[in-house]
Amino acid sequence: MADYDLIVWNDKLVTGIDKIDEQHQILVNLFNEANTKLTVNNSAEFLEQITRDLLSYALYHFETEEELMQKYGYTEDIIENVDTHIRQHRSFSIKVVAVRNDIKAGILISREDLLAFLNSWLINHILNTDQRLAVFLLASEQYCLNSQV
């Protein structure tokens, strides 16, 4: 059984965008909770609950990021970054929905596979894709003016 360390919130994960950082901390906490509670033999109901909670909060978070992109013109500025960012959001959602559909069909994902996917996706997305969005927002005069209000 592969062991995954709990993700410790640190400065490398901070984007500097308070709303995004607060939501990332919740996602990290959800991952850590799953990491702690998942065992080798999980029930379908338990796996459904974990994946439902993760997907539900992730969708809320993705909506927040995509609203910020739209509001502050990220979509017009760097179309390649936007496409990649949104594609990653959709890919995550599709994967979690597929896992949920498998669970409902009696095909249970292993603890290792679920944690590997979540850990890799969350860390890579925050450290790379979300950091690019944050750099753009922090350089945006309009964002900086609005965030001081």
- What span, in angstroms and rounded, lies between the C-alpha atoms of 16 and 1? 36
Domain ranges of the chain: 55-149
CB proximity list for 1: less than 8 A, separation 6 or greater: 40, 111, 112
**17 pLDDT more than 70:** yes
pTM assigned to the model: 0.89
**Predicted local confidence at residue 2, as pLDDT:** 52
Percent of the chain past pLDDT 90, that is, above it, reads 79
Summarize the confidence of residues 72-92 as an average pLDDT: 85
**Predicted local confidence at residue 115, as pLDDT:** 94
Tens-place pLDDT, residues 126-147: 999 999 999 999 998 888 888 7
Tens-place pLDDT, residues 33-43: 999 999 888 99
**Predicted local confidence at residue 1, as pLDDT:** 45
**Predicted local confidence at residue 142, as pLDDT:** 84
- What span, in angstroms and rounded, lies between the C-alpha atoms of 7 and 29? 8
Amino acid (one-letter) located at 101 = N
Helices (H), the chain: 18-37, 44-71, 74-77, 79-104, 111-124, 131-139, 141-147
**Predicted local confidence at residue 143, as pLDDT:** 85
**Predicted local confidence at residue 82, as pLDDT:** 87
What is the average pLDDT value for the chain, to the nearest integer?
A: 91
Q: pLDDT: is 53 or 77 the higher one?
A: 53
